[in-house]
Structures are given as structure tokens and as C-alpha cells.
Amino acid sequence: MGELAREILPISIEDEMRQSYLDYAMSVIVGRALPDARDGLKPVHRRVLFAMRELGNDWNKPYKKSARVVGDVIGKYHPHGDIAVYHTIVRMAQPFSMRYMLVDGQGNFGSVDGDNAAAMRYTEVRMDKIAHEMLADLEKETVDWVPNYDGTEQIPAVLPTKIPSLLVNGSSGIAVGMATNIPPHNLTEVINGCLALIDNPELSVDELMQFIPGPDFPTAGIINGRAGIIEAYRTGRGRIYMRARAEFEDIDKAGTRQQIVITELPYQLNKARLIEKIAELVKEKKLEGITELRDESDKDGMRVVIELRRGEVPEVILNNLYAQTQMQSVFGINNVALVDGRPRLLNLKDMLEVFVRHRREVVTRRTVYELRKARERGHILEGQAVALSNIDPVIELIKASPTPAEARERLLATAWESSAVAAMVERAGAESCRPEGLDEQYGMRDGRYYLSPEQAQAILELRLHRLTGLEHEKLLTEYQEILEQIGELIHILTSPERLLEVIREELEKVKADFGDERRTEIVASQVDLTIADLITEEERVVTISHGGYAKSQPLSAYNAQRRGGRGKAATGVKDEDFVEHLLVANSHATLLLFSSKGKVYWKRTFEIPEASRTARGRPLVNLLPLEEGERITAMLQVDLESLGQDEELLDEQDDSILEGELVALDETEESETEQEQEEAEEPTGAYVFMATAKGTVKKTPLSQFSRPRNSGLIALRLEEGDTLIAAAITDGAQDVMLFSDGGKVIRFNERKVRSMGRTARGVRGMRLLDEQQLISMLIPEPETQILTASEHGYGKRTVIEEFPVRGRGGQGVIAMVTNERNGKLVGAIQVLDGEEIMLISDQGTLVRTRVDEISSQSRNTQGVTLIKLGNEEKLVGLERVQEPYDVEDELDSAAESAELIDNPEIADVAGVEPTADDADSEE
């Protein structure tokens, strides 16, 4: 034997490493990191609760030092570090960690700010009331028991819980090669789900979700979207997006300043670190608009206050907080738990089925235990009833016996007569109170009753006061109750329906005692924040310069000025650059940018970089894939979401298909007659109506522009040397007005223009003289006036009724006199009383003025001064601003008088008579 003991056996290190690692992995998986699906507890939690029960550390008893509990746990049941066990106890006592606390703590148990709990020698604990429901009936052989780590104690392998703790309190742990992360849920909802599954075991996961809509976190908060919940409940894995709950409050009575108040946080978020992160973002200028940040949380609840700068939109700041901090975070659900000692990924129904199956086993084993005890008690009562019925012979027998053992033997050897007991046994059944394994020689036989050793011993131990008549009645009553109890227990064991009814009753009791309202709100919303969610919705001025620079500015940056004022510089003038296009658009709107080469590009307003009035902005070539020599010639504001996007993709094949729609301009002019145009009328719809500098117009369905493409799309096919000058969205039946730089206008109904594909060239809209060009296209609106302006700064308003509707393709009528004083017509817009306009010069000057201050005149007039221009400075454009007018108080009547002196020509021009030109005839 000695030689064998000293023998060294070589083994493969690969085999040894594999086996050792597997042993270690299974030890961690089964013994430490993963919860049992039946009671939802890891071994350490189970052992802590069992140790507190053994200590009598009940919810209605005095607190005990945490160190006492930790000592018992690590000394008897859990051979690991005391700090780890104490941290487990602390977490079970934290209201922000456990949805339903299992430990009632007294002292400092940490905070949501990440503060540590006090040392275990200071804090005190006891079981919470709900923890007793997890240990209920443990003494009734309801679960299996296993030896502790040194074999000196027996501990339960699982708790006979009445609480579906796996879902109610969740679990989190990292094992070897796997992990679990189960969110907490609302007890009322989970029990409702269990009851529904008991009533109908065929329920699907989706049907169970009617009872359990989603997780319910102890810190409340908001779950953003249901997609992750549905995925997790169906498959066992999913991602849910949690958000902090925030409210908006006014700081001042006027409501000009607001603050964001955070009252609830996502689960497991450290509040102190969140505040530090927000402060860091503000310091680094990554989060604008915040003036003060403070924590006002107290015993009444959480309150983190974020004061905002005056005029800031709180919704936008809040969206930025969601995007840049953990105020919106992801909870990755991974429902892994031990089922029959093996790790399994469970869906919602699996977890409920495991719990219901566990309850069925626990109630069955408890019933078997109670039945055995009831039969044992009934058997004793039966023997005592026999003794009381034969009290005198029994007393004589005992008195005559020299020893208790001999008295016992005589009691066993005697056949006793007991008619009362015989009648009771006959009614209840001969086997009702007969313990299992009792020899056949005992009990009723041949009309006589033979006592068993247990009954004989109980008779010998019977106290004399039990011999009274009252005690005799009590004994018989108790015996009758035992018989009824036995009947009920047998019914539970023999009837699956009654068994489930008992489980249901107990769950209903738990729900009534511990159920509460849901804390976490589930909202059906978009999970991902888009850039638009982070941008304040406001009106912005978008400008594109002649040199190809684009920028945007808030509309509020410009103050209204009187007609004839000098204005503010809208952009810096460098290398003779000037603003060529201006559009007032909502910051969330989509801009259709039409280029000189007949292509259209898409940009959101907020994607146009913001710059100061004196800055040039960003080159368009950095924003759009423009070709060499390609320039943006028109901007159009549109809401893509309202277009009803076409399901067909506009790929490269579209262009080749539409080649067949190309219309030769000259051929169209020759072939289309007035009658043919009338016959071309189409049903109304959504169209983009475009006009080019050479007088060509085209109408294309808006749906062909509803799918943005980074490289742009062909809007229309242009003749050589032609450019696109305007585009508008129409319904297919509106009037169109075309203005030329020669001061002419033509008005016709767009039904005279048939719908064409994107690559078609279009048809003639207005006949132009040599070197004349179209400068504006308008879609007339009811009750508006047409404001025209010339390059020398003059303009006027004219009522819409003065512009007659004529046929397409003519030269038109006079819109404004163009002479040496006025220069060419540079713009025409529609206006209403009370509105404002913006005027832009080629030197970068911008003037904002009220429409009401501009004279209303007939078509064939020269107009009044709109803007004072410097030497060699020309007006290049104007834009309608639909915003309430707000003028400074210092612009009083004295300023108006001074203005008239500075502009003496106003009085002269206002009354100019029509020229001798035939203004009303088409040339």
C-alpha cells in the first residue's frame, strides 16, 4: 500500500485543465451566480433568509445586528467572504435596489447617490414581512434539504415561496460563459399572470402580456417603447430603453424662464454621477442653455433641478440630456435561470410555468405532511376517546399495574368496548385516522377496539383534568374536526382542480397583502433620438450667397425697421459676394434645393450651419454633391412626412424610363393649341411646378421627389444655357404668375400644363424678348397683394385682381414700370397686411420692413423707395416674412418726418400716372 501511495500517475494537462475548468464553471453557475427559477434566489440570498429564520429574526421581533446574521451565514451555510454576504444583505434592504425588500434594515444602508452602507457592526436587520411568505411551510417537508458545506447542518435546496420572486425582484449575475439580467416586475401583475395561467395553461406569451405589460422598477422612471419588452418576453432576450422622469416648471411668474425637475431615474443609475456628468457637459459647452444645476432631494423624494437660460425650449434641452447622459439608458434583459439544476433561457410563460409547477409540488408535499400529522393526531384522539369511554376499567387497570411498562402492556392486551368511537369511525371511514404502516391488529376488530402502542402511551400521559365531562366533549369535538380536515386534505390530493384552487387562494391572499400600484410607466414612443429631437423648433432665415455659401440664422435676430431704413448686414461681403437666395423656414422642415443644372437635393433646415450675420457660412460644395459650375437657384420648404411617400424606389432606371417623356420645346409650341391645352386638364393632386430663366415651365408629381437621395435627383431636363429660377408645390389646378426682369407678368391656370416626368424639359410658359429672363414665379393666394421691387430699391403693392388670367406662352402685361430710375425688376412676392418683408442688396445689406408702409398702386406705376442703396449697390432679392411686427419705441413720428425729408421722391412717385404703353394688351 505504501508503494502505491507514493506512485505518481502522469495525466494530460489538457484533460486536467478541461475537467478542472468545467468543475469550476459548474460550481459558479449552480452555486453562486444564477438564480433558481423556482424561488428566484441565488444560494447566498436563500441562505441569508434561512439564517435569519433560524435566528428568529422575524419582521415582528426586535432588530439584530447585521454582524450577527453575517456570522451565522458564513459560519453555517455560506463559506465565503463576510463583506460579500453583508453587501447581499444591504442590497436586500435598499428600496432603490429591490422592488419588494426582503430585509428590513435600521441604520445607514446607502443611497441612490452611491454612498456605502455603514459597517455591519452598526446596522441592524430583520426579515421583512414579505420574506416570511418565501419561507412559509418550510417546516412541513415541502422542499428537499441538503447538507451544508461541512455536513453539520441541513439547509433547504430551494424555498417554498409563495412569491414569484424571479420576476418580482428579478436577478442579475455573471457566471462562467453565461450571465443573467432579469428585471423586477409588479407583484400584482405577476400574480394576475399566474392566476390566468392556472385558469388556462394554453395561454400564449402575447396573451400573458395583457396581465404583465412589462418590468416595474423600484426607481420608477419610464420605459420608452414596447418592442424590447415583447422580444424579451417571447425569446428571453431583449433590450428596453429606460428614461428618467422630468417635469417642466416656471421659474418666474411671467413664464419666460423654466427649469427641468428630475423626479425619477432609470434603474441602477447613480444620481451623483449623473449630476457630475451634466455639469461636465455644460462646462465643455456640449450642453447649452443650462444656467444652474442643483440637487434638492430630501426625505420626501428625489428632486434634481436644472435651471434654463431665458428663452430656451425645455423639451430640446431634455432631449439633449437623454442623448448625452444616462438619463436614457438601456437595460439588456437576459432571462437565464436554473431549471432542474441546468441553466436555461426562459420566456415569460416559461418563468410563470416553473413557479406554478413549484407551487403545485409545494402544496402537494405540504398536504401530504399535514395529512400524516392529522392522522397521527386523530389516532391519538381515537385512543383517548376509547379510554374515556372505559374510564373506570382503565383506571383500575393502571392502579393494579406495578410499573408503567406493565400498565402499557395490559392496555395493549385488552379488547375495549367503545360504541361511541365505533360510530364515529364508521361515519368517517375506518381508514381515515389510521396512520400509514400501523399494524392490522390495532384499531376496530370484531366490534372491539385494540389500542396501539402510541395510543397506550398517550393514555398513560393523560392528565387527570382531561377526565372531566367538559374535556371529554372537547376531545370528541377535536376528533370530529380532525376527521373533517383529513377529508379536505384527501380531496386536495385526489382532485387536481382543488389543488389549483388552493394555489389560487394563496396567491390571491399574497396579492391582497403585498400588491401595490405600478411605478414604471410604459410609453409607446420612438426609442432612438433623432437629430431633429435635439433641435429647437423655430423659424430660421436660410441664405445662400452668390459665391455659393449657405448659412442659417434665427429669425428673431432681425429687428423690424421702417421703410427706407439702412438695415443690418445679413452677411459679410467678401470678394464681391452677396446674398442671392433667402428663405424663412421652420428649423425642422425639409428644404428642396433646386440647382442650375435641373437637379434637386434634400436638406433639413437644421443641417444648414448657423453663422453670424457677418459670417459667410459654409460652402455649398461641402453640404451637397454639386458638380463643377452647378449652383443652387431655388429653395423650397416641404414636409416630407406629409407627402405620402411613394413605395417605389427611384433608382437609376427611372431616368432611362423617363427619357421617353422628353418634350422638345419647339415641337410643343407648334403642336399644342389652346383646345389641346384645355383637354389636358387633370384631376387635382400634389405637384411641383417649376419655371426656368428662358420661360419654360413644367409640372411634375410631388411623389417623384418624396424619397431623398444623397446624390440628388433630376428635376427637369434643361436646354443649354437655361437655368431653373423657381419651384412651388401646387394642387394641379391653381393659377401661376410668371414675372420677367422686363417688368412683365403673365397669369395662367396650371391645368394648361400637363404633368410630366422628372427628366422632361417642359413647355413654354412666357415668351421673352431678347436678353430678358424670368425672375419670379408665384402661385396666387386669396386676398393677397403682389409686391414688386426693382434693382434700384423701388417697389409697390398691387392688388391681385389687376393681373388678368391669360393663355400660357404670351409676353404678358406690365407688372411694374422698368425705366432708368427703377432699373430691372428683381423680385415679386405675395404679401398680406400686417406682414413684413426682407430686402437684400448685392452688398449684403438686409432691411426688414412692414408691408403696411409700402404704397398700394396699380400695375403700371414706378413704386416708392423700399431701401436706401449706396453707390453701385443694387437690390437683388426680397422675401416674405410671416411674423408679427414688433418695432422699437424710438421710431416715433419724429423719425417718420425725418424719413420723408431723406426720401423726397416718395411724395413725387406716389402719384405717377400710367405711361402711354398699352399696359393691358399682350404684345
User: What digits encode the pLDDT tens for the residues 312-361?
Assistant: 888 889 999 999 999 999 999 999 999 999 999 999 999 999 999 999 99
Catalytic residue among 21, 24, 122, 149: 122
**How sure is the predictor about 425, in pLDDT bands with cuts at 50, 70 and 90?**
low
Q: pLDDT tens digits, residue range 754-768?
A: 888 887 889 999 999
Please identify which residue in the block is written with the cell numbers 455603514. 118
Q: Which residue has the higher pLDDT, 433 or 218?
A: 218
Q: How far apart are CA 305 and CA 277, in angstroms?
A: 14
Of 58-72, 437-451, 797-811, 865-879, give the lowest mean pLDDT range: 437-451
> Is 894 a residue whose pLDDT tops 60?
no
CA 65 to chain centre: 43
Give 257-297 pLDDT, tens digit per residue. 899 999 999 999 999 999 999 999 999 988 989 999 999 99
Let me know how long the chain is: 923
Displacement of CA 258 from its chain's centroid (Å): 24
3-class DSSP state of 701? strand
More confident residue, 175 or 163: 163
Confidence of residue 653 (pLDDT cuts 50, 70, 90): very low
DSSP state of 593: E
3-class DSSP assignment, residue 626: coil
Largest Cα–Cα distance in the chain? 156
Taking alpha carbons only, the member of 516, 396, 394 closest to residue 456 is 394
d(CA 661, CA 646): 20
Please give the mean pLDDT across all residues of the chain.
83
At 207, which amino acid appears? Answer: E
- Say whether pLDDT at 561 is over 60: no
At residue 73, what is the residue type?
A: V
720 touches 707 (CB < 8 A): no
CA dihedral 843, 849, 855, 861 (to 10 degrees): 20
CA distance linking residue 213 with residue 221, whole number of Å: 15
Among the ranges given (452-466, 681-695, 785-799), the one the predictor scored with the smallest mean pLDDT: 681-695
Domain with CATH 2.120.10.90 in the chain: 537-909
pLDDT, residue 83, reads 95
DSSP 442-479: SEEETTEEE--HHHHHHHHT--GGGGSHHHHHHHHHHH
Q: What is the mean pLDDT of residues 695-714?
A: 82
Every domain range in the chain assigned CATH 1.10.268.10:
359-511
pLDDT at site 577: 61
Looking at per-residue pLDDT, the higher value among 89 and 907 belongs to: 89
Instruction: Give tens-digit pLDDT for 462-498.
Output: 887 777 767 778 888 888 889 889 999 999 999 999 9
794-799/785-790 β-pairing: antiparallel
Tell the CATH topology of 359-511: Topoisomerase; domain 3 (1.10.268)
pLDDT band at 892, cuts 50/70/90?
Answer: very low
- Residue 911: partners with Cβ closer than 8 Å, 6 or more residues away: none
Question: Residue 385 CB: number of other CB atoms within 10 A?
Answer: 22
Fold for the domain defined by 537-909 = Neuraminidase (2.120.10)
Match 400498565 to its residue by C-alpha cell.
407
779 compared with 710, residue with greater pLDDT: 779
Q: Where do you find CATH 3.30.1360.40 in the chain?
A: 245-326
Please give the average per-residue pLDDT across 517-537, as a whole number. 75
| Annotation: CATH topology of 245-326 | Gyrase A; domain 2 (3.30.1360)
**Is 687 marked active-site?**
no
Measure the CA–CA gap between 719 and 448, rounded to whole angstroms.
Answer: 125
- The pLDDT, as a whole number, for residue 719 is 87
Written as one letter, the residue type at 3 is E
pLDDT score of 558: 63
Average pLDDT (379-390) is 85
Cell matching residue 89 = 444583505
pLDDT value, residue 908:
37
CA 825 vs CA 512, 727, 852, 876: distances in Å: 82, 19, 21, 9
Note whether 338 and 349 are within 8 A (CB).
no
